[in-house]
Amino acid sequence: MWSISRVSCLLALWLCAACAPEPEAAPSYLVGVWETAAEGYTDQHMFIDEHRIGFGTSAVTADGYVITQIDESREGTKTLFVVSYQGEDQTKYQLAFFYEPAAGGRIIYKNQDHLVWTRKVATT
């Protein structure tokens, strides 16, 4: 027979798990594989999907991180995104970038304006 304290404990654990925050969802216009022609980065990719962001030499083998928060604001005429994300070890990171929608979209890192990322065109 289940005791009241055991049932209460299980119920409390279930409620804690159910109340855990959902990962933040990235806007659809940021979702995709991004590449750059910047010197030293030509073989690098960045991917963003609905709940993850990753970096590496291939979108398939990129290190992926869970997006925990996305803040969008304006800096003059530019749209600034600050993406907070964390790894499996719970280490927290942030990436700040400007997004420009023209020509399929461009991402420009706030602290490295020479890094211009464009959405990779899907090939069939």
Q: What are the sequence ranges of the domains in the chain?
A: 22-119
Q: For the beta carbon of residue 29, count every other beta carbon within 10 angstroms.
A: 12
Amino acid 68 reads: T
pLDDT digits (tens, 9 = 90+) for 20-66: 456 678 999 999 999 999 998 888 899 999 999 999 876 566 678 99
pLDDT of the residue at 83: 98
Show Cβ contacts of residue 47 under 8 Å, excluding neighbours closer than 6 positions: 32, 33, 34, 53, 54, 55, 59, 62, 64
